[in-house]
Amino acid sequence: MHKVNGLPKSVRYITLGLAGILLFAILACGGDDTSAPQATSTPQPTATPVDVGAITSALQQSIRSSVNAALSGITPAEGPSASEINRIVEAAVTAAVPDTASAEEIQALVETAVAASITPGLSAGEITSLVSSAVANATAGQADPLTATEVEAIVTGAIASIPTATPQPTSTPQPTPTQFDPRRGGNPPLSTGIPISHFDPIACDQSNSCLVNVGPVYNGLLHYDAATPDPDDISGDLAKLWTASSDGTSYTFTLDENARWHDGMPVTAADVVWSLERMVDPDQARPIAGAIAPMYESSTAVNDLTVEVKTKFAAATFLPLLALEFMKIMPKHHFEGMSEDDIKLRENVLGSGAFKFKDWDKDISFEHERNDDYFKGGLPYWDGMKHFVIADAGRATAAFRSGQVLGSLHPTNNLDIPQHIALGEVTVGKGTVHFTSPFAIIWLYMNTQVAPYDNPLVRRAIFLAIHRQPFVDTFGSGKYVIGSPFPPGRGFSLSEAELLELPGYRELDGEKHPDDIAEAKRLLDEAGVPGFKMTLDAIQIVNFVTVTELAGQQLRDYAGIDVDVLPVEFLTEIGKRAAGDYEIFQGGFGALTLDPNDLMGSAYTVGSAENYSNWRNDRIEEINPLQLSELNLTTRKSLIAEVETILLTEDSPYVFQYWLNSAMYMDNRIRNFNVPAGIYHQLGGEHFYCDPGC
């Protein structure tokens, strides 16, 4: 029935009522000519089985001729009136039903159906329920009652025959009745790999434990638009428009006047100010939302629908950060005065989003239901969605294969890349495995405060000795991306092809390039430490020990270093880093937005969180504030390119191995799905729909 949504408005106004009328017509054709059988001891005659093909043909012909004839006298500027709709539908039904139905019965049926078709707020589910009830009543006494398939064939065939060539009225807007949208409906079963930890997006530190549950419930000012294929496309969420000052230090956001909290109260500028101030609260833990704190200065409610936000300096990364799923706007009137612990409770959830939080079976499942009063017209398409917590990769795979779950909103479902690839191979034609952009860099980090890693020659030798491609092939089945200072292919870095031309990255006949091996050994000789003994820490999380063992073997083979791989518990390693009690360790960093500043401010400058030994490059220190405040994209790219050149060809405490990406399985019935940029993006689900239904 997908043609319905593509019809001109003048025809679409009719079609909601038609489905009901067609089925009422079935009652008139296939049932007794009296309104209800009377109780009697005499057996009732057996009804003649309904001829589905004949009814379908008659209805199609009747609707086609009636609609064409009726609309021929309506100008596009006018559109059909309520009385004209009544006349058109009555003519179509009268032509289709036999003479056994009285004029009064037909009139009553038409009036009832037309009234239903223009009742505001009547959902597709309610219409379906009414139709189903009518069909059941109509066919109850028949020897061969209509099946659901036969009913669908009649209604679908008839509505599909409605002409679509009539021009759409444009001059005078007409009141819009409730319209049938073929994308509406469905309550798909989905999966998540981690149980819910709490319900506060601003305090959240892991998106699949405290955002998958509330991401669909709240809105941000902005969001990464899940309806477009560009993973970096930022559009308004609560903000319907925004402007920036000429110096880039002030933003004015205009809120959508139709946005409402789930308790019916309007979303106001006061809510935005309260939420932003909460994100940067220095006295509270804000693992991700606090990322705007270094640049945020203040916000002011200009009026109920206008917010002015000032930054300390022109910050190119402010809007990309503000669009993350953690930066949700929350209702001041509801949460103000609550403790941080109480805000995290399920019973206190109150959002403005496309879905409401409906039910939670702790550690087992949770469920959302559609917000029928959502301010974005027509959205969401689904009536709801239910997530099942499936921590085991084997069980998750079985659930995907069997169709017990249809996909995940979050791109971490506890399947690794090889498991995703295998899943994709056995679900061809049924589902698709989608790979995300790189979102985390895996690297070795050297303590530049201890010998011999305080020597740039040694650091360069280690950088050259690592062979990147085996990491990509072994741990990512070829889907991971070669390691580099900034994500390849994002506009701020060299492409993967360009990287593979550089010393340390290049290969010869698929093997480590011999020139890089020779240069690594030469540099260690020059530094006076050939074959030195190295203790390489391997954090005991995910597959880091195995990754570290491969790195250690390469350093032995290609640089002649005597490497001892030391597995270390995670918390112990964190303590060692803080105390500077390490030589070199296997680590990584998950980027928030994939903007270069994520890494500039977190790893490559003095005092940054990942730069444990405070390695310093004077030119990078000069560039950092310039790139952060530079709003000209071309100029900023040239600054980042200079940083990249330094780290790749001169000196770096990091040995970049590979960029980690993730994968998502989606059943092919789920439409309008676009792969998110990373794990902190696009968790709302408002644009998804199912075709066929789910």
How is residue 595 written in tokens? 């903007």
What pLDDT is stored for residue 436 in this prediction? 85
Nearest CA to 365 among 208, 213, 548, 160? Answer: 213
Element (H, E) at 564: strand 562-568
Q: Name 660's bridge partners.
A: 440
Task: Round to whole Å and give the CA distance between 620 and 333.
Answer: 45
Quote the pTM value. Answer: 0.66
Task: Round to whole Å and give the CA distance between 130 and 112.
Answer: 11
How is residue 293 written in tokens? 């704190």
Task: Round to whole Å and give the CA distance between 289 and 202.
Answer: 6
DSSP one-letter code for 271: H
Task: Round to whole Å and give the CA distance between 589 and 441.
Answer: 5
> What domains, with CATH codes, occur in the chain?
2-38+46-160 (no CATH), 189-401+668-690 (3.40.190.10), 440-660 (3.10.105.10)
**pLDDT tens digit string along 296-341?**
999 999 999 999 999 999 998 899 999 999 999 999 999 999 999 9
The sign one gets for the Cα dihedral 383, 688, 425, 419 is negative
At position 23, the amino acid (one-letter code) is L
Angle of the 456-465 helix axis to the 514-527 helix axis, nearest 10: 160
Cα–Cα distances in Å, from 432 out to 255, 396, 472?
A: 37, 15, 22
What pLDDT is stored for residue 617 in this prediction? 98
Task: Round to whole Å and give the CA distance between 548 and 385.
Answer: 40
Q: Name 665's bridge partners.
A: 433
Angle of the 514-527 helix axis to the 544-559 helix axis, nearest 10: 80
Task: Round to whole Å and give the CA distance between 579 and 602.
Answer: 19
Nearest CA to 376 among 180, 227, 212, 273? Answer: 227
Element (H, E) at 517: helix 514-527
What pLDDT is stored for residue 15 in this prediction? 32
3 state SS of 219? strand
Distance from CA of residue 331 to its chain's centroid?
A: 23
What pLDDT is stored for residue 629 in this prediction? 85
**pLDDT tens digit string along 586-602?**
999 888 777 898 899 88
Distance from CA of residue 409 to its chain's centroid?
A: 6
DSSP-assigned letters across all residues of 525-536: HHHT-TT-EEEE
How big is the CA angle at 192 (ends 189 and 197), to the nearest 5 degrees? 125
Residues of the chain predicted below pLDDT 70: 1-180, 182
Task: Round to whole Å and give the CA distance between 140 and 134.
Answer: 10
DSSP-assigned letters across all residues of 318-366: HHHHHTSTT-EE--HHHHTT--HHHHTSGGG----SSEEEEEEETTTEE
Task: Round to whole Å and give the CA distance between 536 and 546.
Answer: 12
How is residue 310 written in tokens? 């000032």
What pLDDT is stored for residue 104 in this prediction? 52
The burial class, CB within 10 Å (0-12 / 13-18 / 19+), for 171 is exposed
The sign one gets for the Cα dihedral 11, 12, 16, 19 is positive
